[in-house]
Amino acid sequence: MSDTATASDSAVEQTLPYYEPVGSECALFEQAYQQRLPLLLKGPTGCGKTRFVSHMAAKLGRPLFTVSCHDDLTAADLTGRYLLQGGETRWVDGPLTRAVREGGICYLDEVVEARKDVTVVLHPLTDDRRLLPLERTGELLEAPDDFMLVVSYNPGYQHILKSLKPSTRQRFVAMSFDFPPPKAECEIVARESGLAYDRCAALVNLASRLRAMKGQDLEEGVSTRLLVYCATLIAAGMPILEATQATLVEPLSDDQDVQEGLLESIKATFG
Ligand SMILES: Nc1ncnc2c1ncn2[C@@H]1O[C@H](COP(=O)(O)OP(=O)(O)O)[C@@H](O)[C@H]1O
Ligand SMILES: [Mg+2]
C-alpha cells in the first residue's frame, strides 16, 4: 500500500462517527450487510447501539434512516402516506421506503415500542424475498443489495406484552450489547468529554460499583452516556460531587433511599 493510500484511509477513518469497538461487532455487522441479512441489537440504554449503527453506516457508505419507535408509530409512519400538498395529494415515502428505494440502512430504535402492524411490514422484508409491499400505491418494492434493516431493543425493561415475538426475532441475526469493558469505557468517556484519562478512569471505576447495585433497587445501571455527561460537566469545571449527583444519581432513581445509597458510594470514592 502506498503512503497516499494510507493517508486517505486515515482521513476517511477520521470523518466516521467515533465508535470504540468492544469485540467483533463491526465484522459481524459487515458480514450481515454483505449477506443481506437483517440485524437485531439488544442491550441497555446508552451503551453505544445508536453510535455503532451510525459508525457502520458511514463506514459502508450507505445513507442511514433512523426511526425512534414509540407506541403511536404505525406501519404508515415507516412506509409513507398520501399528503395534501398545495391542493394536490401526493405520495410521500416514509423512512423505510426511502431506505429501500435508495439502498440505505434503516434503523428502527426500540422496535418493540411500535404498533403491531409494523411487524406485518417487516416480515416480507426480513426473509429472502426482501420485499416491501406498498398497498396504498400498489407498488411492490424489491430491496436492493445495499439495503439493510437494523432494529434494536432493550430487553431490560420490556413488559412481557412488549417483547418481540419469536416469529419476528427469529428473522434476525442478533447481537447483545452491554456497557463496554473498563478500558474501552475510559477511552470513550475521555474522548467524548475531553476530560483527562485518569479522571475518567475514576468515574468508570465508580460506575462499576454503582452498576453492582442494579437489581436491588435500580432498574438499570448507569449508562456510558451518563458517564460522558458527568465527565463533560467536570471538564467544564463543575465540582465532582455536583456533577455526579446530577448525572449518576438523579437520572437513575426518584426514590430517596436509592439516591442516598448511590450518593454514599460516590462519597466513598470521591468524598
Ligand atoms: N463503543 C462506543 N464508542 C463510542 N462512543 C460510545 C460507545 N458506547 C457508548 N458511547 C457513548 O455513549 C453515548 C450513548 O450511546 P448511544 O449509542 O446513543 O446508546 P444507545 O443507542 O445504546 O442507547 C454516545 O453518544 C457516545 O458518547
Ligand atoms: Mg439509541
Max mean pLDDT range (53-67, 105-119, 205-219): 53-67
In the prediction, which pLDDT does 34 show?
98
Is ligand 1 within 6 A of the CB of residue 224?
yes
Write down the H helix ranges in the chain.
Answer: 3-15, 25-34, 49-60, 75-79, 95-102, 117-125, 166-169, 182-193, 197-212, 224-235, 240-244, 256-270
The ligand placed nearest to the CA atom of residue 41 is: 1
pLDDT at residue 5 above 50? no
- Residue boundaries of the structural domains of the chain: 3-176, 182-270
Give the type of residue at 105.
I
**CA dihedral of residues 237, 242, 247, 248 (deg, nearest 10):** 130
The ligand placed nearest to the CA atom of residue 186 is: 1
In the prediction, which pLDDT does 161 show?
57
In the prediction, which pLDDT does 25 show?
98
In the prediction, which pLDDT does 59 show?
97
- β-pair partners for 162: none
List for the chain the helix, strand, coil content (%; round to 5).
50, 15, 35
In the prediction, which pLDDT does 2 show?
42
Q: How far is the CA of 250 from the centre of ligand 1 (A)?
A: 20
Give the type of residue at 26.
C
Beta carbons of 234 and 270 less than 8 angstroms apart: no
Q: Tell me the C-alpha to C-alpha distance, in Å, between residue 15 and each of 43, 60, 111, 203.
A: 26, 13, 29, 28
pLDDT at residue 116 above 60? yes
- Enter the pTM of the model: 0.91
Q: What is the mean pLDDT of the chain?
A: 91
Count, residues in the chain? 271
In the prediction, which pLDDT does 256 show?
92
pLDDT digits (tens, 9 = 90+) for 152-185: 998 876 555 567 888 888 999 999 999 999 999 9
In the prediction, which pLDDT does 92 show?
96
Is ligand 1 within 6 A of the CB of residue 48?
yes
- Of 47-56, 65-74, 176-185, 205-214, which gets the smallest average pLDDT? 205-214
- Of 57-66, 200-209, 217-226, which gets the smallest average pLDDT? 217-226
Query: Pick from 86, 34, 74, 78: which is nearest to 56 by CA?
Result: 34
Residues of the chain with pLDDT > 90: what percent? 74
SS3 assignment, position 155: helix
In the prediction, which pLDDT does 11 show?
59
Task: State which of 47, 179, 186, 247 you would mutate to test the pocket of ligand 1, scoring each by most atoms of that ligand within 8 A of its C-beta.
Answer: 47
CATH code, 3-176: 3.40.50.300
Is ligand 1 within 6 A of the CB of residue 228?
yes
